[in-house]
Amino acid sequence: MKFDLSGPIWEWRGPAPFYFVSTSPEISAQIKADARATSYGWGAIPVRLTSNDHLWTTSIFTREGQYIVPIKKVIREALEVREGDVVQLTVELNT
């Protein structure tokens, strides 16, 4: 499964700050239906991400019923984005 995602970066404040982009409820439902075989552990799903010629891997997981996509510091710096900025991502589930 591969999809395009656009959304603002938001911060999850914890012991260390983490930054994410949320998927829409519709995309979250599709991921949930398509990713049963790829999920591991506590429901995390490995993905490949692309944005502005940058490619990286991570895992997405759910929060409050929607999947969230972590945006690593090195990627935020490479894309020159910060909290509140809207990013365009291509997300591909590693199946």
Sequence ranges of the domains in the chain:
2-93
Residue whose tokens read 């510091």: 73
Please report, rounded to a whole number, the percentage of residues in the chain having pLDDT higher than 90. 59
- How confident is the model over 23-69, as pLDDT tens digits? 999 998 888 887 766 656 667 889 999 999 999 999 998 888 899 99
CATH superfamily of 2-93: AF2212/PG0164-like (2.40.30.100)
In the prediction, which pLDDT does 38 show? 61
Beta strands in the chain (DSSP E): 2-8, 10-12, 18-22, 45-51, 54-63, 66-70, 86-93
In the prediction, which pLDDT does 95 show? 62
Q: How confident is the model at residue 6 (pLDDT cuts 50, 70, 90)?
A: very high
Give the integer Cα–Cα distance in Å for 23 and 60: 10
pTM for the full predicted model: 0.84
